[in-house]
Structure 1
Amino acid sequence: MAEVGSKENPWKLQTPPLSSEYDMYKEQKDGKDVIVCVVGKTTLLYDFNCIADLHQMLKQHNDWMELGSADEQKPAKEGTVEAWGRSESNPVGGWYGLKKGLRGRFGMYIPPLMELLGLAEVTHEKRGNKMRAI
């Protein structure tokens, strides 16, 4: 059987409100490790380093942080995981999302993967979900 987290055996995830399912897997693109996120017919790409970087930031934050998911075209609420995932002050100096036009939703799709990997706790309410590092 293929390794978990590969294209052949992707991580099966649900959005924080547990309202939608999606798949994620790690692959190389242009010599860089990326996370491929497949939501229905839409494919998003995130820099693989976002997992370790977000975990480190949450450890330093040392409390719950609102996810604040938003599309790329909409502003992210300050102080949220989404805002950090686009901030010039994060370790990559901007967006962790790699596919222009689809760089947002970092706060929707990355936290459940971190929860699955045992790196974070995520709340599962209808709205206003949060996460914290484990």
Structure 2
Amino acid sequence: MNYKEKIGTKENPLQLKTPPQTSEYTMHIEEKDGQDILVCTVGSTKLHYDMRAIEDLHKMLKTHGDWMELGSKDEKQDTKEGTVEHWGRSSENPVGGWYGLKKNLRGRFGMYMPPLMEALGLAEVTHEKRGNQMRVI
């Protein structure tokens, strides 16, 4: 699927909120080194994610078949097995490691990818203060 129209550009990014609905951020597609990447802008911080993350996460959630805890963590923090965050950096995922592309800013996959998946109509995300989960639609 072509996500460029829905996700947007640097000039017209997709406006999103974190799962607890407490912070706003944007997501857009940009070309880097000849490849399209996802650029997540949180305040003045820019995180980069592999475009493959959308399809791979969707496929994993389909296989999982139930709610999955998000488990968002910074890059240097340990993750809880069985969470979206853990999967997003695991050697067991389709890319064999991190979907985050920017050293020291590769974490928070479980915070910023689920709302994007929800906005694209690919997943459902809970919006509690803590312990949020997602599942495939």
* TM-score (ref. length: structure 2): 0.95
- Give the aligned partner of residue 52 of structure 2: 49
Aligned counterpart for 1:38 among listed residues 23, 37, 41: 41
Q: Give the unaligned 5+ runs of structure 1.
A: none
- Give the aligned partner of residue 16 of structure 1: 19
- Give the aligned partner of residue 111 of structure 2: 108
Q: Give the Cα separation in 1 of the matches to 2:34 and 2:70.
A: 30
Question: What is the alpha-carbon root mean square deviation over aligned residues?
Answer: 1.1
CA drift at 1:28: 1.1
Amino acid at match of 2:63: Q
Matched, 1:73 2:67: no
Q: Give the Cα separation in 1 of the matches to 2:65 and 2:85.
A: 17
Amino acid at match of 2:113: I
- Give the aligned partner of residue 102 of structure 2: 99
- Give the aligned partner of residue 58 of structure 1: 61
Indicate the SS of the match to 1:45: strand
Q: How many residues align?
A: 133
% identical aligned pairs: 71
- Give the aligned partner of residue 135 of structure 2: 132
Structure 1 residue ranges, 4+ long, deviating more than 2 angstroms after superposition: none
CA drift at 1:10: 0.3
Q: Give the Cα separation in 2 of the matches to 1:79 and 1:33.
A: 28
